[in-house]
Amino acid sequence: MECMFVGRFNPLSECPLSKISHVSNNFSTTVHPEITEHPEDKVAIENDTVSFTCSARSLTDPVIIDWLLNGTLTLKDQPRFNITTPPDQVEAGIIISGSTLTINNVTGFDSSLVRCRIANNSGILSQGANLDVLGEQEKRES
């Protein structure tokens, strides 16, 4: 079975990528981007390095992936934060984007909600994960 996308439905959720043979850009409705890999909750010890990954796909436009820590946009120029965003891939007309946030030398102040936010001309979505940072004393007690 192959899928052809023309019509008023969200093909990203109704057809597996492996079955796509053709994608038409003549949609009469907006197809929002979809988060395909969500960041996961993490527990770390102070001074550890932790990474969060987020991936998305879209039929219409490439997505921009941003990272927020406690509701504040993480800046790429902060030395402890490293955001890696490989080039987009296109598979059967679907644009696939990904990003990894790495936080080096975590501290207790980093314990928060880490949110992946994806956006393109069709919409904005976000997904969060908790980061819990334990101190040395907590590490010895567990």
87 alpha-carbon distance from chain centroid: 14
The pLDDT score that the predictor gives to residue 61 is 84
pLDDT computed for residue 19 by the predictor: 42
Rg of the chain's alpha carbons, rounded to an integer? 18
What pLDDT score does 114 carry?
Answer: 95
Domain layout of the chain by residue ranges: 31-141
Where does 31-141 sit in CATH, by number? Answer: 2.60.40.10
Q: Return the amino acid letter for 33.
A: P
Q: Which of 138, 129, 140, 5 is nearest to 60 (CA)?
A: 5
> Residue-wise pLDDT tens for the chain (142 aa)?
333 444 444 444 444 444 444 444 444 455 788 999 999 999 999 999 999 999 999 988 889 999 998 888 876 668 899 999 999 999 888 999 999 999 999 999 999 999 999 998 888 999 999 999 998 666 555 5
What's residue 5's pLDDT?
40
Give the pTM: 0.74
